[in-house]
Amino acid sequence: MKSKLFSLKGYRFEFHHLLVVLISLIFFQILVSIIHKTSLQNLLLKTQDWYQRDEAERMANLSTTSLELLLENVPAQLTADRQRQVIQAFDIILGQQSLQQNVQEICLIAPYHNKFIALDEGKQIFNFFVNNDQFSEGQVNKHPMAIKLFQEARTEVQDNERTYSIREGAQTFHVFVPFVPRGEFTGAIYVKNTPDFSSITGEIITSFNEISGIFVALIFLGLLAMFYISTYTVNARDEAQKLLFQEKEKLIAEQIHHRKEAQFTMRIYHTHHKAEKVMGFIKEDLRELTAESIEQIKYRVGKYANFISRVIYDMKWYEPPVQSIRSPMFRTDLNEVIRFIVENIFKRTSVSSGYNFELDLQPNIPPVNVNEFVVWEIIEPLIQNSIEHSGKNDVHLHIASRYNSRKKEASLVIEDNGRGIESWLLTSDETGRQRLFEDHISTKTDNSNTGYGCYIAYEIATQRCNWHIAAANGDRGGAKFTIEIPY
């Protein structure tokens, strides 16, 4: 079972198979790289988002804590110099944050006369918390976006006293940190922060792209090397197969040539005996020639002579030209050929006394476009086979001809009442040929030159005349040969 699962002998790998494997591997590697890159980008974006928010909130908390501590340490009585120092400290805390690249705005939002004002200078913060000064309309209207966002988030910031941040777009954060000097909520520190980590993300993605490119290139080079080796191996295999096929083709051609020579020899040998028998009939007719029988003998001798001429003509060719076998110039009467073979061949032999012929020939069968002596070569071996293999001395042969005008097909049936055909001879091979019609197949064991008559009849009928011939055991108990002749 294991050997069957892992055996590759039954598979053939060609160039297109290897090319498909190569393209598939490269495609899947690129797909994996793209998926990995997308996942990495998503991870970096989530990490960046978290870090940006955390960094913005930390910076805002630090600024708020510094302002609260500074404000809590301001004494009640201040000299002019101390006052300047406090204001300067407020400016330094706000200025240090504003100097950072990512900080866009920073201010202290505090309630003022049922409104909110934005304080972004140390002097304003000092006057608001220490001197309780009044502010002009221009000072109140600064940072309108920050005031608007704080009004929306006031409940969250004041009630929970927690840092609250609002994200705008991909990188901008509006952070509100509760301002609770001396434990009393008096507003919130607002910081608009836009942290930018695109350079770091770009470096990571670039590094990943470089590694992925190198990895894909290495895999591609490895696959190319495998493809080259496999291609070389397949080329070598194909070259060896080509040489093997050429050798087999040469061997098959030689076998076909020898087979044709053997078939030609056997065909000549087979027809030689018939020619000898026909020559004997000619000599006998010439000896019995009289004035009364001259026309009848002339007809028979003419047929005999034409048959001998056909035998001599066939000796010139392995495969006679098609036009010498079937052509519109031939107009052969099937019934006439059957009658002549029966009356002037089989009934003239010395053993014909033990055989009876019954001819049931339908009149007006259209002539066939096949040479009459080719028809002779088909019908005569089948009748001879019925006589020789009947197994009886009083065999009755029934020969019938029919024509189906609807199908435009004629049929000849040669049937005897002998012992019939053995079942193994009626089996067919993959081409549909019955074993009875193979060469050197016979039930005789006393002669090596047997088993060729039915073969010749089958070859001429099917291969040269495009007829169909079949053997079976008939209702009379003997052999039955059926020839179908399409028009």
Same domain, 190 and 330: no
pLDDT of 135 above 90: no
Between the CA of residue 330 and those of 126, 278, 327, 334, what are the distances in Å? 133, 23, 6, 12
Cβ neighbours of 44 (radius 10 Å): 17
CATH of the domain at 88: 3.30.450.20
pLDDT of 47 above 60: yes
Domain containing 376 equals 326-486
Distant-in-sequence contacts of 90-97, Cβ < 8 A, 24+ apart: 90/121, 90/122, 90/123, 90/125, 90/126, 91/121, 91/122, 91/123, 92/122, 93/63, 93/66, 93/67, 93/122, 94/63, 94/120, 94/121, 94/122, 97/59, 97/63, 97/191
pLDDT of 407 above 50: yes
Calculate the dihedral angle through the C-alpha atoms of 100, 101, 102, 104, rounding to the nearest 10 degrees: 80
pLDDT of 197 above 70: no
Q: Please report the pLDDT score of residue 1 as a whole number.
A: 43
Which residues are paired to 167 by β-bridges? Answer: 173
Calculate the dihedral angle through the C-alpha atoms of 310, 316, 319, 320, rounding to the nearest 10 degrees: -40
264 inside domain: no
> How does residue 171 score in pLDDT terms, banded at 50, 70 and 90?
confident
Q: Are 356 and 336 in contact (CB under 8 A)?
A: no
pLDDT of 468 above 90: yes
460 inside domain: yes
**Angle formed by the axes of helices 372-388 and 334-344, to 10°?**
50
CATH of the domain at 401: 3.30.565.10
The segment with the largest mean pLDDT, out of 68-72, 148-152, 324-328, is: 324-328
370 inside domain: yes
pLDDT tens-digit map of 340-386:
999 988 888 755 567 889 999 999 899 999 999 899 989 998 998 88
pLDDT of 431 above 90: no
360 inside domain: yes
> How does residue 444 score in pLDDT terms, banded at 50, 70 and 90?
low
DSSP assigned state of 461: I
> How does residue 481 score in pLDDT terms, banded at 50, 70 and 90?
very high
In the chain, pLDDT over 90 holds for what percent of residues? 16
Q: Residue 71: name the closest of 3, 129, 150 by CA.
A: 129
33 inside domain: yes
Average pLDDT of the chain, as a whole number: 80
Q: Please report the pLDDT score of residue 189 as a whole number.
A: 85
pLDDT tens-digit map of 315-347:
776 677 888 888 999 999 999 999 999 998 888
**pTM score, two decimals?**
0.51
In the chain, pLDDT over 70 holds for what percent of residues? 85
Task: Among 169, 196, 223, give the residue marking a domain's end.
Answer: 196
Give the residue carrying structure tokens 């070569």.
Answer: 377
Backbone angles phi, psi at 351, to 5 degrees: -105, 10
Under 8 Å CB-to-CB from 61, ≥6 apart: which residues?
Answer: 163, 177
469 inside domain: yes
First to last CA, the chain: 57
Beta strand segments in 52-171, E: 103-112, 115-119, 164-168
459 inside domain: yes
**Based on the structure, what is the number of domains in the chain?**
2
Q: Are 71 and 119 in contact (CB under 8 A)?
A: no
pLDDT tens-digit map of 236-290:
888 888 899 999 999 998 888 777 777 677 767 667 777 888 888 888 888 888 8
246 inside domain: no
Task: Among 148, 168, 196, give the residue marking a domain's end.
Answer: 196
Amino acid 180 reads V
Q: Please report the pLDDT score of residue 12 as a whole number.
A: 56
Task: Among 147, 166, 196, give the residue marking a domain's end.
Answer: 196
